[in-house]
């Protein structure tokens, strides 16, 4: 078990809900129990994901008014980063408390923060976004629902649009470990089976974590119709 009380509590909540067959139900109590204290949320770094920022900086990319979606937005830092880069951003989380927290943190934000369920997303999001960010959400979902989640993420990408995926990774010979569960590269091939084309794939030790974490970062495109 992790020595970090925040992560240990997240694992306890996840295990309780998973035992009841509820893969996403633990997020709301985690945010609610945090009681507005960001230090009580394991992944609340209060800055954009550095592996997202570095990817954008390396490519000198801008949004130019295009539509972007942030999956599992947490406390909103990645969504705000994309908005500042010129995207029209929709960001969602299954936790109403997390979404309210985002709106409180960024009261003048142009980001549209919404409560939504990745396993049952709004029909209006189908093929609606030019850029979709999925960072660290699939890795906290049990294997039994990941394929469904991947399918829904893929379905939000419009023709010619891109998906950037960032997650923990592991080799087939490595143990699955504890939540957040590192993903196998073979699992990510489901994104291609669901209709996207792989543009680039990186695997690296993430120096922004202590100790460093093995990451995958991959970019996909939906081929133009």
Is residue 164 classed as helix, strand or coil in its secondary structure?
Answer: strand
Helix-, strand-, coil-residue percentages of the chain, each rounded to 5: 35, 25, 35
96 CB-side CA count, 13 A: 0
Residues in Cβ contact with 173 at an 8 Å cutoff, skipping those fewer than 6 apart: none
Predicted confidence at residue 7, as pLDDT, reads: 85
Mention the CATH class of domain 47-221. Answer: alpha beta
**In this predicted structure, what is the pLDDT of residue 2?**
46
pLDDT at 110: 98
**pLDDT at residue 3 in the model:** 58
Length of the chain: 225
For the chain, list the strands marked E by DSSP.
67-71, 88-93, 112-115, 129-135, 157-170, 183-184, 197-206, 213-221
Tell how strand 157-170 and strand 213-221 pair up.
antiparallel
158: phi then psi, degrees, rounded to nearest 5: -80, 170
Between CA 127 and CA 154 the distance in angstroms is 8
pLDDT averaged over 10-residue windows placed end to end, the chain, 225 residues: 73 92 93 94 94 96 96 98 98 98 98 97 98 97 93 98 97 91 95 97 95 96 92
- Long-range contacts formed by 120-123: CB under 8 A, 24+ apart: 120/152, 121/92, 121/152, 121/155, 121/156
Structural domain boundaries of the chain?
Answer: 47-221
Residue 199 to residue 218: CA distance in whole angstroms: 8
CA angle 110, 114, 118 (to 5 degrees): 130
Q: Residue 21: which region, alpha, beta or left (left: phi > 0; alpha: psi -120 to 50)? A: left
* 30-64: burial string, b at 16+ Cβ within 10 Å, e else: bbeebeeeeebbbebeeebbebbeebbeeeeeebe
């Amino acid at each position: 078990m992790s020595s970090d009380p925040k992560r240990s509590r997240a694992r306890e909540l996840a295990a309780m809900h998973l035992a009841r067959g509820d893969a996403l139900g633990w997020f709301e109590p985690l945010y609610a129990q945090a009681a507005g204290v960001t230090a009580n949320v394991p992944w609340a770094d209060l800055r954009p994901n550095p592996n997202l920022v570095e990817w954008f900086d390396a490519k000198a990319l801008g949004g130019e008014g295009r539509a972007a979606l942030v999956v599992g937005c947490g406390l909103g830092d990645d969504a705000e980063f994309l908005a500042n880069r010129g995207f029209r951003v929709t960001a969602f989380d299954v936790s109403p408390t997390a979404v309210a927290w985002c709106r409180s943190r960024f009261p003048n934000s142009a980001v549209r923060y919404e409560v939504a369920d990745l396993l049952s997303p709004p029909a209006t999001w189908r093929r609606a976004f030019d850029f979709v960010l999925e960072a660290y959400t699939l890795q906290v979902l049990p294997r039994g629902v990941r394929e469904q989640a991947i399918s829904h993420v893929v379905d939000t990408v419009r023709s010619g649009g891109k998906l950037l995926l960032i997650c923990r990774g592991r080799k087939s010979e490595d143990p699955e470990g504890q939540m957040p569960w590192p993903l196998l590269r073979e699992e990510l091939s489901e994104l291609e089976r669901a209709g996207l084309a792989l543009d680039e794939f990186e695997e690296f030790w993430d120096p922004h974590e202590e100790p460093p974490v093995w990451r995958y970062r991959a970019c996909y495109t939906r081929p133009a119709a």
